[in-house]
Structure 1
Amino acid sequence: MPKAYVFTRYGGVETEALVEVEQPRPGPGEILVAVRAAGVNPVDWKQRNGYRRPGETGSRAFPAVFGQEVSGVVREIGADVDGFAVGDEVFGSTVAGGYAEYALLPVTVAAHKPAELSFQDAATLPVASATAYDGVRQLDLPAGATVLVTGAGGGVGSAALQIARALGLRAVGVASEGKKDLVESLGAVHVPSGPDLAPRVRAVAPDGIGGVYDLVGGEVLAEAATLLTDRTELITAGAPAPEVEKLGGARVERARTAAVLDALAQLVVSGRLDPHVTRTFPLDRAGEALRTVEEGHARGKIVIEVTA
């Protein structure tokens, strides 16, 4: 039986285990993928703690497999699937977990992996990079405008800086001093995080900020909002909708389409987006991979590799 890394109930590390599971079977509109790599994201451990995505309903079935994004090779095709065949190299968002030897992908959020794109890099695109892409496109700023990204040192933030640059924007990234080199290596202007953020941003962007992509929420979001003359150019993936709406902004609207994945793959292949995979772990050390992200020690993206 194939293996998967799961949590057996809501709680902490004590709920996690590497177990044998039944091999999933694809339903209509789904493909079964032999996983080659799985991305690790903060939402993974948050879901173990009981977090539910906005709009998510129903009760979770346990054991629940960790993970939201994978790359791999198609092994089986469900009904009503066109454009995919057994043996295709693909990547996408999972139906129910990706820290596993096999995972199901809905074809609406799956894409063919270009040969020039590694399995490791492909596995990082459907969550953090896609969230970054959706947010930057939602702002829809004209070329040459300046976008401020808070929480710029994380997975979504670092991707947002690069995507903004690829779309012709000037990027300013707020991050800790320890991530200054990372932010600047992405072609962005670094602003140290901390209290009284607005004056530091104005010092490096005297012509003003065209839009804010917030990934922190709270006081950071509120202070960043004061930098805008048009609050419709304030979006967040780091705060609940009511928190940003009272400031005149909005949550990031996720597209969750194959077209976004295709666009991201081309950005990586062209060298305009580097997912910054800094460390990989085998499936039997998935817990270590998750701890690295959960404890805030990750610099760049963490990926779980599954033996082919």
Structure 2
Amino acid sequence: MSKALVFAAYGGPETQELVERPAPAPGPGELAIEVKAAGVNPADWKIRAGQMGSHWPLPAPMGREASGVVTAVGAEVENFAVGDMVLGLAAKGQGTFAKHTVLDAAQTVQKPEELSFADAAALPVAGAAAYDVTHQIELEPGQTMLILGAGGGVGLMAAQIGNVHKFTVIGVASAAKQELVESTGATFVASGEGAADRVRAIAPEGVDVLIDLVGGQALRDLAVVAKDPSVIISTADPTTVQQLGGVAVVRTREGLEKVTGVALYGLVDPQVTDRYSLDRAAEAVAMVEAGHTAGKVIIEP
């Protein structure tokens, strides 16, 4: 038997429970793994709360990303074998807050031996998104990249990637995240009323790309600092960004492969700051849901 955190109904934390279940078997195009570490993301509690639709069959397993060791290989899967160390995204209907899970082989890559399981588990969601969103529009060294939501997992890695490419990075986040944002080499701007004016003071001619990780009114307020609406890219609010003349991020498998290499060479730090056992997975989710994290939260079964 194996353990997994599931939610039995859409709603608050009270709908979550740790259950015993058989270890899941992989279907075609899938890999079964023994989970070594799983990353916690805001999407995990938003799915449970019903903010991302209600199409998950209940009870639904929680968690989207993990690293671990392959225990079984499904049909039609090439380039993976039992015993491989990997990192990737959960297969449809599966969750990663578990002792064993199943990953989508098309969204999984080999884990370099030198990269820890904890750091690897922080990459499939936030790391890959950061790589994709920072490479969707080509910039030259010295050009300006503005990140709205720079204090979260995606934002911190996007800022580090921007610094590697020698972009001028401006990070908008809450005041509590200032030190963390500045540790990436970005110039910090406090979020909230007047943020656009504060950005203008740093980049009076506007920014060459605006990466939105927040959406909503915050995106609308900052859109005016983009040199052209077409350079606004959002991971959080495809409807609003398209209304403004920008585009949603295009996710790629290459993003996960590339960011894994970048992390391996120490050019990006996934900023793992908090680790919880599987028995305390509910606490890990609560910490992210409350917005109290100053880095990446990891569950280690």
> Match of 2:136, SS?
helix
* Whole-Å separation in 1 of the counterparts to 2:228 and 2:187: 22
Q: CA RMSD in A?
A: 1.4
* Whole-Å separation in 1 of the counterparts to 2:197 and 2:56: 45
Say if 2:286 is the partner of 1:291.
yes
> Match of 1:109, SS?
strand
1:245 maps to amino acid: Q
TM-score, normalisation: structure 1: 0.94
2:225 maps to amino acid: L
Number of residue pairs matched by the alignment: 299
* Whole-Å separation in 2 of the counterparts to 1:93 and 1:274: 19
Deviation at 1:229, TM superposition (A): 2.5
Deviation at 1:155, TM superposition (A): 0.9
Counting aligned pairs with the same residue, the percent is 47
* Whole-Å separation in 2 of the counterparts to 1:205 and 1:272: 26
Structure 1: gaps spanning 5 or more residues: none
* Whole-Å separation in 2 of the counterparts to 1:260 and 1:237: 14
> Match of 1:280, SS?
strand
Q: Which moved more, 1:201-210 or 1:84-93?
A: 201-210
Q: Which moved more, 1:66-75 or 1:44-53?
A: 44-53
1:128 maps to amino acid: A
Deviation at 1:243, TM superposition (A): 1.4
Say if 2:87 is the partner of 1:88.
no
* Whole-Å separation in 2 of the counterparts to 1:51 and 1:86: 37
For 1:272, the equivalent position in structure 2 comes to 267
- Alpha-carbon spacing, 1:166–1:74, altered in 2? closer, same or farther (3 Å): same
For 2:295, the equivalent position in structure 1 comes to 300
Q: Aligned ranges for residues 95-174 of structure 1 at < 5 Å? A: 95=91, 96-174=94-172
> Match of 2:106, SS?
helix
For 2:26, the equivalent position in structure 1 comes to 26
Structure 2: gaps spanning 5 or more residues: none
For 1:178, the equivalent position in structure 2 comes to 176
TM-score, normalisation: structure 2: 0.96
1:48 maps to amino acid: R
2:170 maps to amino acid: V
Q: Aligned ranges for residues 22-101 of structure 1 at < 5 Å? A: 22-52=22-52, 59-95=55-91, 96-101=94-99
Paired residues of 2:129 and 2:255 also in contact (CA < 8 A) = no
